[in-house]
Amino acid sequence: MSIKDRLSGNEAIATAMRQINPDVFAMFPITPSTEIPQFYAQYVADGKVDTEFICVESEHSALSACAGAEAAGCRAVTATSSAGLSYMNEMLYVVASSRLPLVLAVSNRALTGPININHDYSDSMAERDSGFIQLYAENNQEAYDNYLQAHRIAEHPDVRLPLMVCEDGFITSHALENIELEEDEAVKDFVGEYHPENYLLKSENPLAVGPYGVSGYYMEARVAQAEAMKNAKRVILEVAADFEKRFGRHYEFFESYRMEDAELAIVLMGSSAGTAKVAVDELREEGVKAGLIKVRVFRPFPGEEIVEALKNCKAVAILDKSEGFSANGGPLFAETASAAINLEKRPKMIDIVYGLGGRDFTVGHAKRVFARLAKIVETGETGPIYSHMGQRDLRKEVQ
């Protein structure tokens, strides 16, 4: 039976970690993820877990320690944000290519420069092609639920890839919300124990982890890694189905909100979806056929499924909370637009970069986006396909 509580996103993730009781937690603090290891250190001190809790000298070392633990056959976890995630960059690729299914909690925060500690997705989006599965949460409940599902996805024999559980820094990580927790034993039964097939300390089957990949083998290893990411799509849905059966909360690759007959739609991620849903509801009351797609799974990207949900729309705005610096828009737009390229009938699409460095996103902003989409439908002209919203500028904003 679910237990009602009120927790921040960080404490919700730390609670999920405690219930799972991993073998190793290697940590280095960075705002706004620092609370996760702080909470966990208290669990260790209170004897609530028997995790080996390691304080290291950097984020690079934290992920390195977790990699060693995973290679030795342990279940390992850590947490980070922003520049900490960037400092892990080398090891992210090592962990993923070594097929080590550790779980990394990320409290998303803007990257320097200028120095900023507030929320956007520039940190995790910079690592989107590192080989990690990426799950994103709208609220604290989803952050907790995503973490409960993470180890089963990552450790599945057909996947064996590391996974990032992402939450919005300060917006989700520090805000208190009502949440439903599951009983410890029910969580342990759902997640299960980690029993890797091969690991360094398995004496009857000696192996190397992370050997030199000569030209005759490197590509085969990469293709196997790519196939594992494809397999993750099936496993994510299987784990979500079992999660719903046990705990009653439903998850897919994304949430379709009032999309049944939508003509105008927004695609976005994270906590901004809650704000945009209010705008959708208010526009529906005015007779506007507005809808929303909230992306939960960014890696593997569910492109085919998203464009299927969008194909009957007339105009779609993809909202990127990360600047791609491609001169063509952000990463969510690039993925969504490329997935739609071969549709016989497809909506007009634009990209709007917003919310960088914690810039506000309001119901009014969302309505402005829908107003622009309505104008596109009316005139047949998209105008600038790539633009920004919410910045202070001498130029007149496009929206």
Q: Check if 3-247 and 254-389 are the same fold.
A: yes
Identify the bridge partners of residue 106 per DSSP, sorted by sequence position.
Answer: 80, 166
Neighbours of 304 (CB within 10 A): 11
Q: Where are the domains of the chain?
A: 3-247, 254-389
- Identify whether 300 is preceded by a cis peptide bond (ω within 30 of 0): yes
Are 167 and 13 within 8 A, CB to CB? yes
Q: Mind listing the pLDDT tens digit for each residue in 69-105?
A: 999 999 999 999 999 999 999 999 999 999 999 999 9
Packing angle, helices 184-191 and 140-155, rounded to 10: 40
Q: Is 170 left (phi over 0), alpha (psi -120 to 50) or beta?
A: left
The CATH fold of domain 3-247: Rossmann fold (3.40.50)
pLDDT reported for residue 395: 63
Q: Is 131 left (phi over 0), alpha (psi -120 to 50) or beta?
A: left
Cα–Cα distance between 191 and 178 in angstroms, integer? 23
pLDDT reported for residue 166: 98
CA neighbor of 3 nearest in space, from 263, 137, 184: 184
Percentage of the residues of the chain whose pLDDT score is greater than 70: 98
DSSP state of 135: E
pLDDT reported for residue 397: 56
Distances (CA, A) of 137 to 140, 262, 283, 294: 7, 23, 24, 9
pLDDT reported for residue 394: 66
Mean pLDDT of 235-247: 98
Are 323 and 258 within 8 A, CB to CB? no
Place of tokens 């909202």: 319
Q: Mind listing the pLDDT tens digit for each residue in 123-173?
A: 999 999 999 999 999 999 999 999 999 999 999 999 999 999 999 999 999
Query: Would the pLDDT of 399 be above 60?
Result: no
Provide the mean pLDDT of the chain: 96
Statement: the pTM of the whole predicted model exceeds 0.85: yes
Mean pLDDT of 339-343: 93
The yes/no answer on whether domain 254-389 falls in CATH 3.40.50.920 is yes
Please report which residue ranges of the chain form alpha helices under DSSP H. Answer: 9-20, 35-45, 59-71, 82-87, 89-97, 122-125, 140-155, 184-191, 215-247, 272-285, 303-310, 331-339, 363-379
Name, in order, each residue with C-beta under 8 angstroms of 14's C-beta and a sequence gap of 6 or more.
35, 36, 39, 40, 43
Distances (CA, A) of 140 to 54, 166, 218, 327: 26, 11, 40, 34
Q: Mind listing the pLDDT tens digit for each residue in 268-299?
A: 999 999 999 999 999 999 999 999 999 999 99
